[in-house]
A and B are shown apart, each in its own frame.
Chain A
Amino acid sequence: MIKGLYNASKSMNDKIHNIQIVANNLANLSTNGFKREIPFAEYMERAENEGVKQVTDFSEGEFLETDNPLDFAISGKAFFAVNTEQGIELTKNGQFAIDSEGYLITKDGNKVLGEKGNINLDESLLKSKGEITVTDDGQIKVGEFFIDYLRLVNVEQPEMLERSENQTFYYEEQDFNNADKSQFKIHQGFIEGSNTNPVLEMQAMIQLQKDYEASQKMITSLDAMLGQSKEIGKY
């Protein structure tokens, strides 16, 4: 019976973690490039059996048109590679800008990587004064002047990625493969919205609350039973 108490309290604790994940998913309903985490028992199983730290749902969010030439969305299994202090980080959030030195950067000021390294748009811009265009396969051009390819990275096991703030993902091993150009398509002037589905989260929230309540009922009844057993042998 004591074991039962442990199980029920473990269940309550799990539900609290899960509600935190649901709360985070819902808070990020309007965060571009955000990937929801799967908050269910399914995920607890995977976490224990395969040694996976968390399960992120990498399905695609909606594409929103912005018409900004420095906004990009990726359809397909690939990430943008960003050069940070910790090493290369990956993101699906393609809202970029150009810094004072002409480097293509994310909104946090980290440099976006091309296949030849950091992407510098400064000199060529002064020469041609053209528009920045990025083709489907990530070729960056200013006017007719070729700059570089955006470095798009494919991750074999995306579930091994750790989450970092600002919609970026981190992988300790750092051994990234460049994605095959047939596997993705880049859409210039679009951004990818959050893939949080409010209906799924709502459903999860209701279920979590009910499960939590059930576990609590189990604890109170086990408590009552233990109380009863104490009475055995009394006159």
Chain B
Amino acid sequence: MPTRALKSAASGMYAQEINIQVISNNIANMNTTSFKKNRAEFKDLIYQEISANPQNTVIPGSVENSNTKIQVGSGVKPSSTQKVFVQGDLQQTGQQLDVGINGDGFFQVRKSDGTFSYTRDGSFKLSSEGSLVTSDGYVLEPGFTLHEDVRSISISRDGIITSTEVGGDSIELGTIELAKFVNPGGLQAIGDNLYNETESSGSPILGQAGQEGFGELNQGFLETSNVDIVEEMISMISAQRSYEINSKTVKTVEEMMSIANNLKR
């Protein structure tokens, strides 16, 4: 009985289910600052050799010839999801602590346990100690501290932070360093717009903003999500249709089984 066909179809339906889950997560994050869309990836399963002529083994005296064997695959399975690090649009917010990266770099932030994570979400706030922190309170690293007399700060395209004092003096406080990765697609997303380095992403390469490959900083701008709603809708349509056509396989095989059952009345 063609149960292998049923299982292949079921694996195809399951794969499309995962695909829809990934797409729906993308759509849900349409308005998440600096969100990078995901893409589900699939791989085919093992191929088994079966005899193309099953009667050979039935007819007495016949010899099985290996050349008449064919390989039949056993379906598909979801293998991984891939982050797509295409630049999102930069949207003006007018907030002086909002920084958008135009390029490939990431901000390096230190979490409360002392480990580093990376983010492109530049909506920074001031902490009570006067350092720049993300919305979740993770500290920008290497950072700087502002004291009480600062009236405003400006961040240049190459990351140099200058503060203007109440008296009108300008003081250079430091520079924002960005991290970049050989294979950003290999970064592990841990939620809260944060990424962790992994073996496949490689170690972070630190450098000043504005250097080649790191990207420039734009003060008063935030990077929007790079989810393209039209593209997601199209992916959703094709995932739904793929799901449907796999269910048609189930139906066809089921009908064939019923035909076989009707051989004997």
Contacts and interface: CB of A to CB of B under 8 A. Distances in A.
B213 A202 contact: no
A16 interface: yes
Contact of A29 (B41, B68, B245): B245
Given A32-B42, A53-B69, A198-B241, A67 B86 contact: yes
Contacts of A69: 183
Interface string B155-188: 0000000000000000000000000001101100
A30 interface: yes
A87 B5 CA distance: 30
Contact of A22 (B70, B249, B263): B249
Contacts of B183: 68-70, 97-98
Given A28-B73, A167-B43, A100 B252 contact: no
Interface in A83-106: 93, 95, 97-100, 102
Contacts, number: 203
A32 B79 CA distance: 11
Given A19-B253, A99-B199, A68 B85 contact: yes
Interface string A1-38: 00000100110111111011111101111111010010
A153 to B, nearest CB: 20
Contact residues on A (Cβ < 8 Å of other chain), bracket:
35 or more
Nearest to B213: A131
A48 interface: yes
A54 B41 contact: no
B255 to A, nearest CB: 6
Nearest to A106: B43
A28 B186 contact: no
A163 B85 CA distance: 33
B200 to A, nearest CB: 4
A12 B260 contact: yes
A135 interface: no
Interface in A193-233: 198, 201-202, 205-206, 208-209, 212-213, 216, 219-220
Given A16-B256, A19-B2, A201 B245 contact: yes
Interface of B: 1-2, 4-6, 8-9, 11-12, 15-16, 19, 39-47, 49-50, 52-55, 59, 67-76, 79-80, 82, 84-86, 182-183, 185-186, 199-200, 202, 205, 207, 212-213, 238-239, 241-242, 245-246, 248-249, 252-253, 255-256, 259-260, 262-263, 265
18 contacts: A15-B256, A19-B2, A20-B8, A20-B72, A23-B9, A23-B12, A23-B246, A24-B44, A26-B249, A27-B15, A29-B242, A30-B19, A31-B44, A32-B41, A52-B67, A70-B185, A162-B47, A166-B44
Q: Which 3 A-B pairs have the closest CB atoms?
A: A27-B12, A24-B73, A23-B5
